[in-house]
């Protein structure tokens, strides 16, 4: 495995209450939320420090090192990244659901979804800053299973990164374990307009 593999473990995760409520189904009527639900979200948020183990691992590849999939075409370099919040939150959410604390489990799961999204966003930002130091322009981030990048391409990402270093594995269906994990690629271009096109 190449030496240019980097790990990030420092994140400041701030969760937006509105996004949590959106995940829980409140698309419009935010005013109709009852106090006990707001209280429950606050209580579960307060426990997150013990439930999150945010981490990411990434690697910058030359185009020649990729599997030359069409989605990498014209890129000078490609960044592959895997992010996670670890297994504890989803274990706790599962435990709550089994104990007829379904809503609390669901709230925790929604917080987890938003937390891993935050980890991905912050990782993307770090990668973008690094790419600018290389005088390259980053595309947006794309994950396998979206657009023209088949979910089976997860296997390529996992071949290129020692995901076990941050406790993430891939099952035979190309699903990441822990579930609250995100993998993505960012293409880096010499030309700014190419980065924007993607």
Partner 1 sequence: MKENEIYEKMKKAIIEGNKDEAERLAKEALEKKMDLLKVIEKGYVQGIQKVGELWEKGEYFLPELITGAECMKGAMKILEPGLKKAKIKTQSQGKVIIGTVEGDIHDIGKNLVASLLAANGFEVLDLGADVKLERFVEKAEEAGADFICLSALLTTTMLGQKKVIEIARERKMRERFKIMVGGAPVNQKWAEGIGADGYAENAMAAVRVALDILKK
Task: Enumerate binding residues for partner 1 (CB under 8 A).
Answer: 24-26, 29, 32, 34, 36-37, 93-94, 97, 100-103, 105-107, 109, 145, 151-152, 171-175, 177, 179
Which lies closer to partner 1 via its Cβ, residue 24 or residue 48?
A: 24
Query: Rounded distance, CA 103 to CA 193, Å?
Result: 46
CB of residue 37 vs partner 1: minimum separation in angstroms? 5
Q: Mapping DSSP to helix (H, G, I), strand (E, B) and coil, where does residue 6 land?
A: strand
CB of residue 171 vs partner 1: minimum separation in angstroms? 6
User: What are phi and psi for residue 185, nearest 5 degrees?
Assistant: -130, 150
Measured from the Cβ of residue 138, the count of other Cβ atoms closer than 10 Å reads 25
Which lies closer to partner 1 via its Cβ, residue 77 or residue 180?
A: 180
Q: Mapping DSSP to helix (H, G, I), strand (E, B) and coil, where does residue 26 land?
A: coil
Whether the Cβ atoms of residue 23 and residue 181 lie closer than 8 Å to each other: no
Which lies closer to partner 1 via its Cβ, residue 135 or residue 173?
A: 173
Nearest-Å Rg of the Cα atoms of the chain is: 18
Which lies closer to partner 1 via its Cβ, residue 114 or residue 124?
A: 114
Residue 52 CA from chain centroid, whole number: 13
CB of residue 180 vs partner 1: minimum separation in angstroms? 11
CB of residue 44 vs partner 1: minimum separation in angstroms? 13
As given in the structure block, the two tokens for residue 147 are 């657009």
Which lies closer to partner 1 via its Cβ, residue 16 or residue 62?
A: 16
CB of residue 83 vs partner 1: minimum separation in angstroms? 18
| Look-up of token digits 């089994």 | 98
């Amino acid at each position: 495995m190449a030496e240019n593999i980097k790990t990030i473990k420092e994140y400041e995760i701030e969760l937006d209450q509105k996004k949590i409520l959106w995940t829980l189904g409140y698309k419009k009527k935010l005013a109709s939320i009852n106090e006990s639900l707001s209280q429950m979200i606050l209580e579960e948020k307060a426990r997150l420090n013990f439930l999150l183990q945010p981490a990411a691992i990434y690697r910058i590849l030359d185009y020649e090192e990729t599997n030359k999939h069409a989605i990498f075409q014209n890129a000078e370099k490609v960044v592959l990244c895997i992010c996670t919040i670890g297994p504890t939150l989803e274990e706790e959410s599962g435990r709550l659901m089994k104990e007829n604390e379904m809503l609390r489990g669901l709230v925790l799961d929604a917080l987890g979804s938003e937390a891993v999204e935050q980890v991905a966003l912050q990782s993307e930002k770090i990668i973008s800053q690094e790419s600018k130091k290389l005088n390259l322009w980053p595309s947006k981030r794309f994950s396998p299973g979206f657009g023209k990048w088949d979910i089976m391409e997860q296997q390529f990402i996992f071949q290129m990164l020692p995901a076990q270093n941050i406790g993430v594995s891939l099952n035979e269906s190309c699903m990441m374990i822990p579930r609250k994990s995100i993998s993505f690629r960012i293409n880096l271009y010499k030309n700014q307009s190419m980065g924007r096109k993607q």
